[in-house]
Structure 1
């Protein structure tokens, strides 16, 4: 897929609007996320490997907050369980439309259903794998426990939730260090200080990070048997939660 360079925040903006996944973001999203999220490609690749291990015959794998379908395409490469289908859901019409175009071009016969809905409203059932790849952080904190409990209840015994999130830290020195290193990573990817600052302002009160302890405690409260970090790069991590 051809990537258009992200320059949304490259010029000074008089009014910085709250970040949203609109057509402007969709056009640059692959470039944006790779240059903004440390380890993103490694996480996507691992999602495919994990789905290959956990996907069961006649079950469903969910990609919730699927954006342009990177996790879905990774899962498609590795799932060989008979009659296992993927349900990919996102509430951005622009994302879903572009994902549909790519799926028709690259994998027209794939057993994938793409839905434009609020992921909190869908029914999770007969699931062997659920992916929340940098998605929960955009859901209001007060809705997260009920949503995760719904996922846990829809997973088959032994099923897997892959939860990737931006983290925050209780220790102020760790918080400052991790934030500074994330910004250093973005500068190394070619983002200017202006772009970093304006993007951070746009995401304020839109993306709400939490500590790993908060995530782990909530996952256990939701009924998962265990939840551990398998990957972390500065303040971005991915957690495996097992039912």
Structure 2
């Protein structure tokens, strides 16, 4: 399927509205995330590879905050465990509708894919079924800070022994010089991908009240407090990272 280039912040906006996952964002989202998140394609594809290791027969695989279903598609390409079901969840109706279109197109290209259910819902209110894999791919950072521990606790309770949570997030850093340097390198990444100074500044303004990153240490401790026994960083590119948490 084709998608539009991201030009949402190319013209001056006054005031700059808070970032929302609406129809406008959905239309440009594949271009936006590829040009904004260092290593995103590698993270998505390798989540599928990792999932194939942890997925168990007769269990659910959850893609929480699925957006357009990139991770769900990777899960379906790689996981061979019998009688698994993918549950892809997002609270944006625009994302859910387009995700279903993308998955339908995937069905027409491949045979014997895992069944998938795409759900419009608040992941904080999900009734989790026994799961061998849960992914939060750049999702937790949009959940209110005070509700993150509760969500991770629910995920931990749903995960079966031998399963895993894969958590990908933008990071902040306690050391001010490290934080500033990695932010600047991230802006350089965006410039190299064609974003103007105006686009970078306006996107930053739009998202600063919506997305609240944590440090790697905060993520690790929160996961341990939720009951996870081991937290393994498996990927980092600049200030973006992905972790495997084992129940």
- Give the Cα separation in 2 of the matches to 1:103 and 1:164: 22
> Are 1:59 and 1:85, in contact at CA under 8 Å, matched by a contact in 2?
yes
For residues 1-243 of structure 1, what are the structure 2 equivalents within 5 Å? Answer: 1-107=1-107, 110-243=114-247
Q: Output the TM-score relative to the length of structure 2.
A: 0.97
- Give the Cα separation in 2 of the matches to 1:164 and 1:124: 20
> Are 2:128 and 2:158, in contact at CA under 8 Å, matched by a contact in 1?
yes
Residues 149-185 of structure 1: CA deviation (Å, up to 9, x unaligned): 0000000012100000000000010010010000000
- Give the Cα separation in 2 of the matches to 1:165 and 1:72: 17
Structure 1 residue 102: deviation in Å? 1.7
- Give the Cα separation in 2 of the matches to 1:16 and 1:131: 31
Please give the secondary structure, in 2, of the residue aligned with 1:25: helix
- Give the Cα separation in 2 of the matches to 1:39 and 1:102: 22
Residues 128-161 of structure 1: CA deviation (Å, up to 9, x unaligned): 0000000000000000001000000000012100
Runs of 4 or more, structure 1, over 6 Å off, are none
- Give the Cα separation in 2 of the matches to 1:107 and 1:63: 18
Please give the secondary structure, in 2, of the residue aligned with 1:107: helix
Please give the secondary structure, in 1, of the residue aligned with 2:162: strand
The number of aligned residues is 243
- Give the Cα separation in 1 of the matches to 2:18 and 2:152: 26
> Are 1:124 and 1:155, in contact at CA under 8 Å, matched by a contact in 2?
no
> Are 2:18 and 2:207, in contact at CA under 8 Å, matched by a contact in 1?
yes
> Are 2:73 and 2:106, in contact at CA under 8 Å, matched by a contact in 1?
no
Structure 1 residue 110: deviation in Å? 4.5
- Give the Cα separation in 1 of the matches to 2:88 and 2:72: 7
**Gaps (5+ residues) in structure 1?**
none
Q: Output the TM-score relative to the length of structure 1.
A: 0.98
**Gaps (5+ residues) in structure 2?**
none
